[in-house]
Each structure stands twice: as structure tokens, then as C-alpha cells.
């Protein structure tokens, strides 16, 4: 199977020589190229029954690496289980106007921060409005920057409990069954806030414009550009509520730790061409094949590497990190939920225990004799050290 790592290993160095790249992108590329190879070191396991040897190499743990997200995602979901409430959950998606895509690529940290701010304030303010809910709500926001074809498509997924706490803090107010807030209301509020904060960043000279968009440095040109956006509806989509807490977790798992493209979507790498499958939502959600040069594939993938330490999953309102523990407990009391003793603790499972729970596969069991237990026999293999010269199996 062809992986992003294979494409980077074959064509990444050529791409770096042709293009000047910032440090955080160079680090991500290096991490993906080295993931689960002897470059990062590892350890040797030996079966206590038959003596079978297995070398396991370390993962890069980079959040943009397609190989390193599964366990991180599952741990995150395990930790979220204790926060679920017995109510319907809505999935709301806010999409940035495509006219701003060029500005986003030039000013990722600033524009993505504006996007989060506009989305969070929109939901919190409309939730407080007595015309719609009149309560303090909470939600989880997840930033995605890509479309299925790997082009830039910044949007935020929000998972929102169907209701909130009354202003006096004494009761839970349920949202209407199957209905949250009109998307037109959300769309126009979101548009106003997005463009307001964009203009403020411009006036504070936090935005840069180069190349073909250098003309926007002129205040008159920028004002004309923004005024046109006020006449365009922003795309906001709201799905019906989930049926159960289990559906919420399953859905979260699809979005939280996703990268621009997973390895299973890559079909082949031949003669400097990368072929992958994608879904064309504008053509009835049809599954299609797309072929790009390796250089163009790398360019599109790198567009979605976020700035260093930029937080892509954020919690707001009653689900914010500061309030969550106290307010979730308060919500459950209001709903009359009876907690069992085993509801609160979240046991931190080891990698082997987590994989066994998720897949039913015991990685400590010897794959050769299927009776013995694989035990770490030797000290960790140093970085950049070749594996031992013996029959091995790389995990």
C-alpha cells in the first residue's frame, strides 16, 4: 500500500530544494518521513516461549501524520465519555467564504483564530437569545482546512448539546425536538462577526498581502473587497440531532484527529504521479479518482499543516476546560441523572490494552507460536541506529 510517507521519501527532498518552506512545515515533513523507522529508534521484544524476535520502531506522534492519529483519537474519545449528557446533540458546520482562502494561506494563525472567535461568539450569543433558547450552551469546535480534493476549504465542525443552563443556574432548558437554531440566523450573525474581526486585524496591520493580492494593502481596495462579502451568505449547515451518546462518540471519532488525507485513500504512485480517490459532493457524492504530480500532491498536503502549537480542537461555554467538570455535574443533577461509582474515573490504558479493547488483538501475544508473551528484552534502540542483524518483524 502506498502511503504519504512513501511520497515524501521519494519526492520530499526535491520539493524542499525547489521551495522555501517555514520551519513548522519542514519539521512535519521530517517527522512523517521518519515515522516508525529506525531513524526514531525503537525497542526489541522477544517471546518468552519460542524466542521469536520483533523490532518495534517509534512513532513520530506528529498530529499531521496519517499513521499516528488512531490511538490519540481513541484516548481523546475515552476522556470525552464522562462529559456526555443524556440529550440530543447537533452537528453544526460553519464554512469560511472561498473568497478568503487566499488570505487564509498567507495568514493562517490570524485568520483561523478569527474563524474560531466568530463561530464561538455566534453560537454563544444566539444561544443566550430568549427568542431561540435563552440559555448558556456549550460545544466542541474542530477545525478542518481541506476538501476531499485536498484544496483549501477552511471550516469548523461544532458538536452542540441540545439545550443549556438557565441564566439563574437552576434548570436545564431543552432545545426543541429536532431543531436547534435557524441556520439563516447563524449564517448572518457569523458573517457579521467574521468580517468585523477581519477588518479589525487589517486595521491593526496583522494581515500580510503579497503577490497577486498585494493590491489589498490599499485601504480603499480592501474596503471594496469586504463590502462585496457582506452581500454573500456564509454557508452554515446543521444536521438533525444524534440518536444517542454512542452515536455522538462515533461521529466525533470521524472528525477530531483527521488529517488532510488518510493512507487508505492513496491508490498508486507511478512515474511521479499520485492517484487517490475522493468524493465529489457537487456530483451526487460520487467516488472518483484524481491524479496529481507528486509535487502538486505535496503542495496540497502541506497547505493543511497548522502553525506550531495552534489548537485545532476547542471547548466553549459549559464545556470549556475551566467550567466543564463543575457544570457537567450540575447539568446531570438538573436532569436527575444518577451517577454510578464507575462513571467518573477514566482509566489510562496502555497501548496494548487500548488496542486489545478496540480491535480484540493482543499485541503482547507471540505471532509465531501464539502461546508466549512478547517481552521487551533489549534496551531501546538508539535513534538512527540500524536494526539488529537477525530475523525480525517490524511492528
Q: In the numeric block, which cell numbers belong to residue 69? A: 492519529
Residue-level pLDDT at 114: 98
Decide: residue 263, CB within 10 A, 0-12 exposed, 13-18 middle, 19+ buried: middle
Best CA proximity match to 15, nearest among 362, 318, 274, 329? 274
Best CA proximity match to 89, nearest among 221, 185, 180? 180
Measured between its terminal Cα atoms, the distance across the chain in Å is: 16
Residue-level pLDDT at 111: 97
Q: What is the pTM of this model?
A: 0.89
CA distances (Å), origin 303, targets 27, 153, 255: 14, 10, 18
Q: In the numeric block, which cell numbers belong to residue 28? A: 512535519
pLDDT digits (tens, 9 = 90+) for 300-328: 999 999 999 999 999 999 999 888 888 99
Q: In the numeric block, which cell numbers belong to residue 236? A: 452554515
348 Cβ contact list (under 8 Å, min separation 6): 75
- 5, 57 Cβ separation under 8 angstroms: no
How many percent of the chain have pLDDT more than 90? 57
Q: Report the C-alpha gap between 28 and 25 in whole angstroms.
A: 5
Long-range contacts, 293-298 (Cβ 8 Å, 24+): 294/7, 294/10, 294/11, 294/15, 294/269, 295/11, 295/14, 295/15, 295/18, 297/7, 297/150, 298/7, 298/8, 298/11, 298/12, 298/15
Residue-level pLDDT at 340: 59
Residue-level pLDDT at 393: 39
304 Cβ contact list (under 8 Å, min separation 6): 64, 145, 146, 150, 152, 259, 260
Residue-level pLDDT at 19: 96
SS3 279: strand
Q: In the numeric block, which cell numbers belong to residue 335? A: 436532569
Neighbour-count burial for 284-303, b at 16+ CB within 10 Å, e otherwise: eeeeeebebebeebbebbbb
pLDDT digits (tens, 9 = 90+) for 166-182: 999 899 998 886 667 78
Please give the average pLDDT of every successive group of 10 residues along the chain, which has 395 residues.
96 97 96 93 88 89 92 83 85 94 94 98 94 92 95 94 92 80 91 97 95 91 95 88 73 83 96 96 91 98 96 95 88 81 58 76 86 78 57 38
- Average model confidence (pLDDT) across the chain: 88
Residue-level pLDDT at 313: 94
Residue-level pLDDT at 285: 87
**Consecutive H or E run containing 203:** helix 183-203
Helix 4-18 and helix 23-34: axis angle, to 10°? Answer: 140
pLDDT digits (tens, 9 = 90+) for 105-160: 999 999 999 999 999 999 999 999 999 899 999 999 999 999 999 999 999 999 99
Q: In the numeric block, which cell numbers belong to residue 73? A: 483519537
Amino acid at each position: 500500500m502506498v502511503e504519504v510517507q512513501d511520497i515524501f521519501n521519494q519526492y520530499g527532498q526535491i520539493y524542499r530544494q525547489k521551495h522555501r518552506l517555514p520551519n513548522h512545515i519542514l519539521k512535519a515533513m521530517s517527522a512523517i518521513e521518519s515515522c516508525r523507522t529506525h531513524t526514531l529508534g525503537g525497542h526489541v521484544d522477544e517471546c518468552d516461549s519460542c524466542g521469536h524476535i520483533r523490532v518495534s520502531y517509534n512513532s513520530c506522534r506528529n498530529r499531521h501524520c496519517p499513521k499516528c492519529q488512531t490511538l490519540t483519537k481513541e484516548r481523546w474519545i475515552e476522556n470525552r465519555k464522562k462529559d456526555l449528557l443524556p440529550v440530543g446533540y447537533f452537528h453544526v458546520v460553519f464554512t469560511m467564504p472561498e473568497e478568503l482562502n487566499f488570505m487564509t494561506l498567507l495568514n493562517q494563525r490570524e485568520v483561523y483564530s478569527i474563524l474560531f472567535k466568530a463561530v464561538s461568539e455566534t453560537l454563544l450569543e444566539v444561544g443566550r437569545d430568549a427568542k431561540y433558547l435563552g440559555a448558556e450552551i456549550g460545544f466542541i469546535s474542530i477545525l478542518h482546512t481541506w476538501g476531499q480534493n485536498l484544496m483549501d476549504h477552511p471550516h469548523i465542525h461544532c458538536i452542540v448539546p441540545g439545550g443549556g443552563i438557565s441564566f439563574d443556574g437552576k434548570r436545564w432548558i431543552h432545545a426543541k425536538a429536532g431543531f436547534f437554531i435557524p441556520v439563516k440566523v447563524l449564517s448572518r450573525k457569523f458573517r457579521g462577526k467574521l468580517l468585523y474581526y477581519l477588518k479589525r486585524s487589517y486595521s491593526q496591520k496583522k494581515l500580510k498581502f503579497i503577490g497577486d493580492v498585494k493590491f489589498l494593502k490599499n485601504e480603499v481596495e480592501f474596503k471594496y473587497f469586504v463590502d462585496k462579502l457582506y452581500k454573500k451568505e456564509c454557508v452554515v449547515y446543521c444536521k438533525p440531532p444524534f440518536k444517542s451518546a454512542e452515536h455522538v462518540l462515533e461521529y466525533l471519532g470521524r472528525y477530531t484527529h483527521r488529517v488532510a488525507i488518510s493512507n487508505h485513500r492513496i491508490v498508486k504512485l507511478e512515474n511521479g504521479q499520485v492517484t487517490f480517490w475522493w468524493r465529489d459532493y457537487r456530483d451526487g457524492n460520487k467516488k472518483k479518482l484524481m491524479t496529481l504530480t507528486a509535487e502538486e500532491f505535496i503542495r496540497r498536503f502541506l497547505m493543511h499543516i497548522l502553525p506550531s502549537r495552534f489548537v485545532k480542537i476547542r471547548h466553549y461555554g459549559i464545556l470549556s476546560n475551566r467550567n466543564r467538570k463543575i457544570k457537567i455535574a450540575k447539568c446531570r443533577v438538573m436532569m436527575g441523572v444518577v451517577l454510578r461509582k464507575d462513571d467518573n474515573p477514566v482509566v489510562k490504558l496502555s497501548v496494548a490494552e487500548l488496542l486489545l479493547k478496540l480491535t480484540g488483538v493482543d499485541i503482547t501475544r507471540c505471532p509465531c507460536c501464539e502461546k508466549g508473551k512478547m517481552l521487551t528484552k533489549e534496551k531501546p534502540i538508539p535513534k538512527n541506529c540500524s536494526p539488529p542483524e537477525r530475523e525480525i518483524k517490524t511492528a
